[in-house]
Amino acid sequence: MPFSLEPWVSWVFDHPVRKPEWHRHYEGTRWDHPDASALHAITELFEAPARPLQRFSDAQLNQGFWLLCENAMFGLSDEQISWELRQRCVRSFVPLFRDLFAVRCTRHPSHLDRGGQSPAKLSSLNLACYMWWDFDCWVAKPNDGPHRRLDNAFLSVMEETLAIRHEACCESALHGLGHWHLGYPVETVQIIDGFLAPPRRSLRTYANTRKTPGAAASCNLQFSVGILSAWSITSISTGPFRASSLSPSCSWRAPKMLGSA
């Protein structure tokens, strides 16, 4: 039976938004397995996401993305699935960020939120965008030879995402680079320094926190009081900054927001 994208999209996203989410108490289906067919569907959707997803609310999209990243996305690490398909799926994250997240997410830095207190007009989709690289379905494994090419593909996507002129997308990539820093310190610092090379008034301080060993020491990395209090999306200085000059205190930990880092 030929694959049809629309029924699969409806199965993932067309559900009421509630707590607990609908997919916490459902019986698995053939669309739930982290196999090649799931990755093919994800890739086809992400490569051109705007039109198929326009009928869903931001909250429905957020809920659906969490479902995918907690289930089907684990197929990206399955060496039994062709590398060509897995690589194409990872590459599809770029148009997802460019054509969906950058269009529908609020221009708001989520790492500044406290205890779930967010602006009233903040899109629900910002959560999935910010937490994208924090899901368990992708973890840096620099000592795993076959996995390194997957990590390199992830790092490449993060770097390309930094070129999207939208705070939520750039912040998501910086969040991911912070997690990958422990495994790939040289590569992540190079990417972040490349992002900081042009004059930038926003996300400069947050970008610099992503380049420190202390920031990436765990999956619950947080930010020091001094760095957060100095952060301002309109008034941060734009002078040159390099990883060697950064030495923030990491003794304070901010409250988690909905399980986020």
> Is the bond preceding residue 146 a cis peptide, omega within 30 degrees?
no
- What band does 159 get if pLDDT is binned at 50, 70 and 90? very high
Output the six-digit token pair for 29. 């289906």
Q: What is the pLDDT of residues 234-254, one digit of tens each?
A: 222 333 333 333 333 332 232
Q: Cα separation of 63 and 45, whole Å?
A: 16
Residues 6+ away with beta carbon under 8 Å from 182: 140, 213, 216, 217
Containing H/E element for 87? helix 83-91
Q: Cα separation of 92 and 74, whole Å?
A: 16
Q: Cα separation of 255 and 202, whole Å?
A: 23
Output 154 or 223, whichever has higher pLDDT: 154
Q: Cα separation of 126 and 257, whole Å?
A: 12
- What band does 2 get if pLDDT is binned at 50, 70 and 90? low
Q: What is the pLDDT of residues 23-75, one digit of tens each?
A: 776 665 555 678 999 999 999 999 999 999 999 999 999 999 999 998 899 99
- In the predicted model, is pLDDT for residue 172 greater than 90? yes
- In the predicted model, is pLDDT for residue 166 greater than 50? yes
Instruction: Tell me the residue ranges of DSSP E strands in the chain.
Output: none
Share of the chain above pLDDT 90, in %: 52
Q: What is the pLDDT of residues 201-212, one digit of tens each?
A: 556 666 666 666
